[in-house]
Amino acid sequence: MTRIIFALLTGLSVLLAAAPVAAQSPIAANAPDSHVVVPGDTLWGISGMFLKEPWRWPEVWRMNREEIRNPHLIYPGQVVYLDRRGPYLRLGKPVGDPLFEKRFPQVYSEPLDRPITSINIDAIRPFLTKPLVVDEESLANSATVIAVDDNQVFAGKGDTIFAKDVPTGANGWQLYRPAEPIKDPISGEVLAYEAFHLGNAQVVEDGDPATLRVTEGLEEIGKGDRMLPSGSEEFFSYAPHAPEGEVAARITGIYGGVNVAGRNDVISINHGAAAGAAPGQVLALYRNRGTAEYAGDGVKETFVLPEKRYGLIFVFRTFNRISYALILDSNGPATVGDSVRQP
């Protein structure tokens, strides 16, 4: 299987636009000539060994642009080579690989390791399928818990609950409770509501109300709690890219209820799908430096200091007016209200 994938990549390899790439992504200091992919690697991290701007790796991988948007074609054991003339990165096999040595006819097999993702999937896995935020439309379309079996006040794992507005055919459900509103840091407008994840349930009998069994109980579940159909976890294969249009957004929140965030933390921004946000977009973080007063010439003047760029984020999940992003590079703390713009 690995040999088939490698042959596919070799056959589809094309030269990407050469002229501007070298200027945009110069070679990093002490860049190696090659790197053997190992479990736990990410395409962002691998490219960071070779390039000063690792998020631009789709521009310099010497593969078909459409294929590189599917990082599952890259597996541990493959070798990434650096062509310094481009620079270009390409996949290959080490010289003298035993797979290419002449042998007597026989059957060989090798395990197919987990594919390499764009970023550290473990950092965002809990956020990919659970409801994170809900808006008025989601609230209106949610099912609602109306009772707990055996006259209990709350339900937990293994208990039976009853819910209304459960359509036939949707068997798996996630239970949540609307929590704090997410407000625009400038206007104060409510953009959405945090969805406090309570657990999961499975329909055991259709009807109105429907009967469900709680399969996972992270918190107490009671009357009035809401339900949304369970999402299926899919392989996260989005390659980093810059947004096509202008972005002028702000950090609206830091997941976990803390005041500041750093590398590998998850934040929310007031830039959602309605404004063009999409998984895989890379955006830059800017800090407000405030104002400075100067009265050296006898006249008091106030100057607005330019914002300071201090990090990069990777958008991995979008809602209508809110997106969630992972901080991948940062040389300072991120706070609510910081600016988010093009990289």
Question: pLDDT of 310-323, one tens digit each?
Answer: 999 999 999 899 99
Q: What is the mean predicted confidence (pLDDT) over 204-216?
A: 94
β 301-304/308-318 pair status: unpaired
* Average pLDDT over every residue of 119-126: 77
User: Is the confidence at residue 111, as pLDDT, over 50?
Assistant: no
Give the dihedral sign, CA 67/68/70/76.
positive
pLDDT of residue 20: 40
Residue range 103-129: mean pLDDT, rounded:
63
Q: Which amino acid is at 124?
A: I
Which carries the bigger pLDDT value, residue 120 or residue 62? 120
Give the best-scoring range by mean pLDDT among 70-74, 211-215, 243-247. Answer: 211-215
Query: What is the tens place of the pLDDT at every residue in 63-92?
Result: 545 555 555 567 888 888 888 887 888 877
- Write the CATH number of the domain with boundaries 249-341: 2.40.10.410
55 and 241 in contact (C-beta within 8 Å)?
A: no
pLDDT band for 288, please (50, 70, 90 cuts): confident
> What whole-number distance in Å separates Cα of residue 86 and Cα of residue 249?
34
* 29: its two tokens: 């200091």
Going from N- to C-terminal start, the domains of the chain cover 2-100, 126-229, 249-341
List, in sequence order, the alpha helices (H) in the chain. 2-12, 21-24, 43-50, 57-60, 65-68, 121-129, 136-141
What are the pLDDT digits (tens) for 168-193?
Answer: 888 899 999 887 888 999 899 999 88
What mean pLDDT is predicted for residues 282-301?
A: 89
Q: What is the DSSP string of 107-165?
A: ------PPPPBSS-HHHHHHHHHS--EE-HHHHHH-EEEEEEGGG-SSB-TT-EEEEES
pLDDT of residue 4: 34
Confidence of residue 113 (pLDDT cuts 50, 70, 90): low
The secondary structure element, H or E, covering residue 85 is none
The structure tokens listed for 116 are 């390499």
Q: What is the mean pLDDT of residues 233-250?
A: 81
Q: How confident is the model at residue 335 (pLDDT cuts 50, 70, 90)?
A: very high
Measure the CA–CA gap between 93 and 99, rounded to whole angstroms.
9
